[in-house]
A and B are shown apart, each in its own frame.
Chain A
Amino acid sequence: EPEVTQTPSHQVTQMGQEVILRCVPISNHLYFYWYRQILGQKVEFLVSFYNNEISEKSEIFDDQFSVERPDGSNFTLKIRSTKLEDSAMYFCASSQHTNTEAFFGQGTRLTVV
């Protein structure tokens, strides 16, 4: 069964460092998403991406965040200068269309120290 894969599963980084979280969406999907879940809180939408551009982003997704689909298979989330409050589980998701279900990866747990 096709699945969304995310690497790494756990990333520890020092405050102020740049991190790149990687995702391989399901191959025939066209829409890609990043969500995050701070420990003990709800899953929050960060950004959606379609046709090589951001289609929607939340207020959380400020200038320190960026997304890219560098090679037609990977979908990355970059945080330029990490803060302690960026510590969270980051989920990538993909869907074939906007009205079909999104499939989620297993998440990357980011810990900023």
Chain B
Amino acid sequence: AQSVTQLGSHVSVSEGALVLLRCNYSSSVPPYLFWYVQYPNQGLQLLLKYTTGATLVKGINGFEAEFKKSETSFHLTKPSAHMSDAAEYFCAVINSGGSNYKLTFGKGTLLTVNP
């Protein structure tokens, strides 16, 4: 079975500061990993994903994440926060050996950006 742990249900940063949202996963087979963002009253939008290849992946809006197998982590970062980044962020994993695209989500991290 696979699972995702997001450390910190709420992260608050100042505008221009580094954003770091933590995600650790457990999976019995090589995982596919994802970060989704949910803006207020909207659906889930894919920020970035890791499937195979380069472990540092870049996504939309200046976000990136690095897959670290030894640490079973896939932390999301952005060098400089913008007010528009305020949203809830979800880390998710699927079993790459599975026959379905069944995402297992973390509980989410609410990011607030202070002026």
A is bound by B? yes
Show the binding face of A for B, using Cβ within 8 Å: 4, 6, 31, 33, 35, 41-45, 48, 50, 55-56, 91, 93, 95, 98-107
Distance to closest chain A CB from B41 (angstroms)? 8
Would A48 and B105 be within 8 Å (CB), given that A43-B44, A104-B43 are in contact? no
Flag if B45 contacts A31 (CB, 8 Å): no
- Residue interface bits B84-96, CB-to-A below 8 A is 1, else 0: 0000001010001
- Chain B residues in 8 Å Cβ range of A31: 100-101
What secondary structure prevails in chain A residues at the interface with B? strand
Flag if A45 contacts B103 (CB, 8 Å): yes
Flag if B105 contacts A44 (CB, 8 Å): yes
Nearest residue, chain B, Cβ from A103: B46
Would A45 and B102 be within 8 Å (CB), given that A104-B45, A106-B42 are in contact? yes
B67 within 8 A of A: no
**How far is A100 from B98 in the complex, measured between Cα atoms in Å?**
12
